[in-house]
Amino acid sequence: MMNQFPKGFLWGGATAANQLEGGYDQGGKGLNLADVLPGGKVRYSIISNPGFDFKMDKEQFHYPNHEAIDFYNRYKEDIALFAEMGFKAYRMSIAWSRIFPKGDEEAPNEEGLAFYDRVFDELHKHGIEPVVTISHYEIPLHLITEYGGWRNRKVVGFFDRCARTLFNRYKNKVKYWMTFNEINGAILHPILGLGFSPDSEETRLQESLQGLHHQFVASSMAVKAGHDIIPGSQIGCMLVYAPVYSIDCQPANVMHALQEEQMFNYLCGDVQVRGEYPAFTKRFFKENGIELDIQDGDLELLKQHTVDYIGFSYYMSRTEKKVKTDEEKASGNIFSGVKNPFLQASEWGWEIDPEGLRISLNQLYDRYRVPLFIVENGLGAVDKVEEDGSIKDHYRIDYLREHIQAMGEAIEDGVDLIGYTSWGCIDLVSASTGELSKRYGFIYVDKHDDGSGTLERKKKESFYWYQNVIATNGSEL
Ligand code: BGP
């Protein structure tokens, strides 16, 4: 069979600062959003519901991100393991609060900047291309408590200062950037995306869309600054993408699925890639009483400084029905859909759908005609260490194989796909549960939900499998 993956395809893995670094009070770092989010069952309701109070209560909660997997002190060992797998790219993020500990300072924290210098140098030593998300569910706590997070327009200026600082400092080390992780997820979980808890369920949409508008402006400013400061840089947006299926061919259900798709999948992409609010927002905003504060010059900025590529995460598809009962709802999926009778779900209820990835790639490419980069995909599972120390994660291999096959099909369909960094290439703290027992890695980390563990790294079976996938540029799966 002809190899479907182009030469230079960016195979690798992805992580986020707050989920793996730990060292939350080292190197002059300030407190950030993740530092005050507890782990465990309570986490999900906090990130999805209004009314969270950001005061840290050390007595009441366990904060897994404080130590995470200690990448801050072990990055050399971890990058050597990525290199052993043959990574061409490594997607990571910057902890904003390492660079500007409170967020509103004039000058950056040199120790924080120097840390990422060391990480980038180590990656380049091994021939690995860094792909950097500027803000991955990340904002200094001070910008939340003093300014109200992204609901405040002033945060745009602070972000712009941070982005420029990064571009200037790392201009010879980083070519691929993304502005905000899963920007369209903000409406579902404003805390993670926008750094505030909406006042109420009634005001959630208005507040989130205003926060999003501020991020659109900040993202365009970053695109402009990145292009000015780093010639040849590639600055992307980052979407969480799940194609929306109608439960059946009843036209009312099909229309409902389309509307969900428009607001969730296309609003952010249209603003960031096409440079304008899409036509459907006019009616949606009117019917939902949304009034955005859009300042002079904003719309021109969005139009002029659009992204170079789309990075997106893909974990599941979503099935919709206009009127649904509680029993029909798909409980684990992060979206509001109904169960798809044709799909199996992960232990967390995320519906597994490799064909949906091929569909997503085709939809995104047809609509936007810019290069695509899958910057997250993977299976969260509980892994067992056997007595001989091995970890036989064949379920993860099966999941990844089928998704990579779907990518190959999409490339043959004509899609311009430039890379694949699977999520959590090394076990890390889960964003939605705050737990370590939901593992994604090729590399196991001996660290557990109660905080115990030696932090020792072990290679899973998937490690060797992925190593061969990369070595054969995807032709042996
Ligand atoms: C995405 C986030 C990641 C990540 C992943 C897996 O939504 O961008 O940060 O964690 O999902 O989700 P979880 O960790 O909740 O299993």
Q: Residue-wise pLDDT tens for the chain (477 aa)?
A: 557 999 999 999 999 999 999 999 999 999 999 999 888 777 877 777 788 877 766 666 778 899 999 999 999 999 999 999 999 999 999 999 999 999 999 999 999 999 999 999 999 999 999 999 999 999 999 999 999 999 999 999 999 999 999 999 999 999 999 999 999 999 888 999 999 989 888 999 999 999 999 999 999 999 999 999 999 999 999 999 999 999 999 999 999 999 999 999 999 999 999 999 999 999 999 999 999 999 999 999 999 999 999 999 999 999 999 998 877 777 665 667 899 999 999 999 899 999 999 999 999 999 999 999 999 999 999 999 999 999 999 999 999 999 999 999 999 999 999 999 999 999 999 998 899 999 999 999 999 998 999 999 999 999 999 999 999 999 999
**Position 4 in a domain:** no
Q: Looking at the domain assignment, is residue 275 inside a domain?
A: yes
Catalytic residue among 122, 376, 386, 402: 376
Evaluate whether residue 334 is within a structural domain: yes
Q: Is 230 a domain residue?
A: yes
pLDDT of residue 332: 62
Q: Is 380 in the pocket of ligand 1 (CB under 6 A)?
A: yes
**pLDDT for residue 50:** 81
Q: Give the pLDDT score at 83.
A: 98
Indicate whether 2 belongs to any domain. no
For atom 16 of ligand 1, the residue with the nearest CA is: 430
What confidence score (pLDDT) does residue 231 get? 97
Q: What is the 3-state secondary structure (H, E, C) of the chain?
A: CCCCCCCCCEEEEECCHHHHCCCCCCCCCCCEHHHHCCCCCHHHHHHHCCCCCCCCCCCCCCCHHHCCCCHHHHHHHHHHHHHHHCCCEEEEECCHHHHCCCCCCCCCCHHHHHHHHHHHHHHHHCCCEEEEEEECCCCEHHHHHCCCHHHCCHHHHHHHHHHHHHHHHCCCCCCEEEEECCHHHHHCCHHHHHCCCCCCCCCHHHHHHHHHHHHHHHHHHHHHHHHHHCCCCEEEEEEECCCEEECCCCHHHHHHHHHHHHHHHHHHHHHHHHCCCCCHHHHHHHHCCCCCCCCCCHHHHHHHCCCCEEEEECCCCEEECCCCCHHHECCCCCCCCECCCCCCECCCCCECCHHHHHHHHHHHHHHHCCCEEEEECCCCECCCCCCCCCCCCHHHHHHHHHHHHHHHHHHHHCCCEEEEEEECCECCCCCCCCCCCCECCCEEECCCCCCCCCCCEEECHHHHHHHHHHHCCCCCC
Residue 458 lies in a domain: yes
**Would you say residue 435 lies in a domain?**
yes
Ligand 1 atom closest to the Cα of residue 430 is 14
Instruction: Give 109-157 pLDDT, tens digit per residue.
Output: 999 999 999 999 999 999 999 999 999 999 999 999 999 999 999 999 9
**How far is ligand 1, taken at its centre, from the CA of residue 191, in Å?**
14
| Crossing angle of helices 461-471 and 394-413, rounded to 10° | 20
Q: Write the CATH number for 401.
A: 3.20.20.80
Asked if residue 145 lies in contact with residue 54, where contact means CB atoms within 8 angstroms, the answer is yes
Q: Which amino acid is at 242?
A: A
CA atoms within 13 A on the CB side of 417: 27
Q: How far is the CA of 301 from the centre of ligand 1 (A)?
A: 30
Domain tally for the chain? Answer: 1
pLDDT of amino acid 41: 75
Q: What is the pLDDT of residue 477?
A: 96
pLDDT of residue 187: 85
CA distance 340 to 475: 31
From 43, 91, 334, 376, give the residue whose CB has the most ligand 1 atoms within 8 Å, as the site to mutate. Answer: 376
Question: What's residue 405's pLDDT?
Answer: 97
Is 456 designated active site?
A: no
158-198 pLDDT, tens per residue?
A: 999 999 999 999 999 999 999 999 999 998 889 999 999 89
**Rounded to the nearest whole angstrom, what is the distance from the C-alpha of residue 360 to the centroid of ligand 1?**
18
Q: Which domain holds residue 65?
A: 10-471
Q: Does residue 3 form part of some domain?
A: no
Quote the pLDDT of residue 447.
97
